[in-house]
Structures are given as C-alpha cells and as structure tokens.
Amino acid sequence: MIKIPDNQVAGHQAGDGKLGPLVDGLGRFYKPLQSDERGTNEVAFYSSLSSNTRIPGHICRFFPVFHGTQLLEASDGSGLLPHLVLQDLVSSRLNPSIMDIKIGARTWPAQASEDYIAKCLERDRKSTSVSLGFLITGFQMYGSKESGFWKPHKKFFKGFSADDVRLVLRKFVSSNASGDFDVDPDCAFASVVYGGSNGILAQLLDLKAWFEDQTLFHFYSCSVLVIYEKELALDGSSCGAEVKLVDFAHVVEGKGVIDHNFLGGLCSLIKFISEILTTPDKCQTEVRIQDSENNPFSSGNGADG
C-alpha cells in the first residue's frame, strides 16, 4: 500500500530510484530522516512540539500530526531507513490545489557553518527570498477531469520577479489559470479561497499573531502550504482552504526572541494576498502601471499631464 505521493509540489521527490517521501493511502506520510543533523533536528522539533503545552490549540492545527519514527523500505531501494511518520495533509482531499511557499528572507540559522551560510545566501539573493521575504517553490492546480493538474516544473519558478509572484498568486485562485503569462487571471476563487473568516488570509493573520508573541522556535527554511479544492470552490460554499506549516529540519530554539525573520516574510506574503482581495480585477498590465505610479522618488506630474 506504500506508494509515492501524488500531491507533492516541492522538495525531494521519490521516483526514478530517488529517495523521497511515501504515503500509505490511509492518512500517513513517511518522510525519510535525513542522515545528518537535519534529520535529528526535525525529529527533535516534532517531539518538542507534541509535548509542548504552551502552544495554543488554534496554532497546533497548522502543524502536521506527528506519529513518531518508523523503519521503512526506502524509496530508492537502499534498504530500511528511519522515516518520520506524519499526518498526510491531503489524504482526505479529492483534487487539492496546493502551493508551497518558503517563508523568510534568511534561510540559515546563525549557528550554521560558513559554507552553508554562503550557499544559502547566494541562493536567497538570486531568488525572491531576500527581496520579498518569501519564495514560491512549487504548486499544483486542479483544472478539470479532462485537463487534470497543472504542475509547473521547478524551472518555471526560476528568476521570478515581484510581478511574477503577484501574477502566480492570482493564477492560483483563477478558473482560467495556465502557463500562458499573457492570459489575465480572473481571480474567480479569490474571495472564497483567500477571503472570508475561514479563508487563507484569516489563517495567515492568526499565524502572524502567534509569531508576534512566540519566542520558542525560529523557523528557517520552513514552508507554508496553501491548500484548497477547486470543485468545492465551484460549489460556492466552503473550498476547504487550509494553511499548514511543513519542513522543520532547520528549526532552532528561539531563546526568548521572536522569529522576526519568519514574521517579516509572513507579513510580506499577507500584504500580497491582501492586495489580491482588495483589487481582484487588476490584471497584470494594470498592476505594472500602478507600480510605476508608486515610485516614491518620482514627481507626481506624470499622472496629471
């Protein structure tokens, strides 16, 4: 029953003899334990999270449930390997649309090695991590029974500008989404997915309030998953919009200081999503015009003349 997950949108993926996560189709997700300190660190994080009574219930829901570790035949055929046993976040979903967004301008903890820091810094400066405080690392979008899923290759995300990120966050909640950048996204599902009292924005704001206060953990290189179901969204009622946090191999102790790096990136993402809700009909071209008007160092004359 153990198989390669259908709905993974970023990270190491099993298949073609490679090592990656597995699922059992019964609600459990098996993530191979990285053999270095990253593996130990992620187990330590999940263990401390499970036993920590200071984390409020409405925050616990953002994390996958942890079921310990288990030896399992690795997906690359290398034999038995320890795996984290986690809740499969999408096992109960029919055709989930999912986006993986790595949060934080800085992906390295202060105590990392010089080599690791240099490598991260170079990557983060080339991506939108440093400029926007977050990075879209992958997504899949359900189209229809006929078209199935649109799941761009990771090359698609290379060299993204702020405008590309704006556009993709709009496409993600549009009924006419495709890889064609000339088609203006209609943002048909924006109000039900991003908006509303149980929508993505409300959940991100709930998470933000916790990050303004919590000093237990600093989350480096951790991702927010944004999940919804298009078929439910078409029904018009609930779309199953859900925010989850994943990837804790680089979590370190907060030592009484808030995670200002994660919080800053989260606030930046919140601002991008808020703008879609306040101007859902803005197409890409209009967004670009608005940008040039927003240049604070230019005189305002151009707008009048």
Binding residues with a second copy: total (CB under 8 A): 43
- Binder to a second copy among 232, 263, 273, 277 (CB under 8 A)? 263
Q: Can you tell me which of 188, 253, 279, 283 binds a second copy, judged by CB under 8 A?
A: 253
Among residues 94 and 289, whose Cβ is nearest to a second copy? 289
How far, in Å, CA of 263 to CA of 23, rounded? Answer: 31
Is 283 a binding residue for a second copy by CB under 8 A? The answer is: no
Q: Is 285 in the site for a second copy (CB under 8 A)?
A: no
Contacts of residue 95, Cβ cutoff 8 Å, sequence gap at least 6: 142, 149, 229, 230, 231
| 80-87 β-sheet, strand order | 22-23, 28-32, 80-87, 66-73
Pick 91 or 274: Cβ nearer a second copy? 274
Among 256, 278, 281, 305, binds a second copy (CB under 8 A): 256
| Contact between residue 219 and residue 245 where contact means Cβ atoms under 8 Å apart | yes
Best CA proximity match to 246, nearest among 226, 267, 222, 269: 222
What span, in angstroms and rounded, lies between the C-alpha atoms of 208 and 278? 20
> What is the rounded radius of gyration, in angstroms, for the C-alpha atoms of the chain?
20
Q: Which is nearer to a second copy, 147 or 215 (CB)?
A: 215
Under DSSP, is residue 155 helix (H, G, I), strand (E, B) or coil? helix
At 277 the three-state DSSP class reads: helix
Shortest CB 255 distance to a second copy, Å: 7
* Residue span binding a second copy (CB under 8 A) among the ranges 19-27, 64-72, 169-177, 211-219: 211-219
Closer Cβ to a second copy, 180 or 297, answer by number: 297
Which CB contacts under 8 angstroms, 24+ apart, belong to 90-93?
90/7, 90/227, 91/23, 91/25, 91/26, 91/27, 91/28, 91/29, 92/27, 93/7, 93/227, 93/229, 93/240
Establish if 34 lies at the interface with a second copy (CB under 8 A).
no
**How many residues belong to the chain?**
305
Verify binding: residue 284, a second copy, rule CB under 8 A: no
Count of Cβ atoms closer than 10 Å to residue 25 Cβ: 12
Tell whether residue 217 is a contact of a second copy (CB under 8 A). Answer: yes
Closest CA to 136 of 117, 110, 115, 162: 162
Binding of a second copy by 50 (CB under 8 A): no
Using the rule CB under 8 A, which residue among 79, 180, 299, 304 binds a second copy?
299
Cα–Cα distance, 59 to 37 (Å, whole number) = 26
DSSP secondary structure code for residue 154 in this structure:
G
**Identified binder of a second copy from the candidate list 28, 31, 102, 106, rule CB under 8 A:** 106
Which of 257, 281, 304, 305 touches a second copy by CB under 8 A?
A: 257
Query: Any contact of residue 197 with a second copy (CB under 8 A)?
Result: no
35 binding a second copy? (CB under 8 A): no
Near a second copy by CB under 8 A: residue from 115, 296, 303, 305: 296
Q: For a second copy, which residue of 12, 235, 291, 302 counts as binding (CB under 8 A)?
A: 291
Contact between 305 and a second copy by CB under 8 A: the answer reads: no
Q: Return residues touching a second copy (CB under 8 A).
A: 44, 48, 51-53, 105-106, 110, 121, 125, 130-133, 162, 212-213, 215-217, 253-258, 260-261, 263-265, 267-268, 270-271, 290-291, 294-297, 299-300
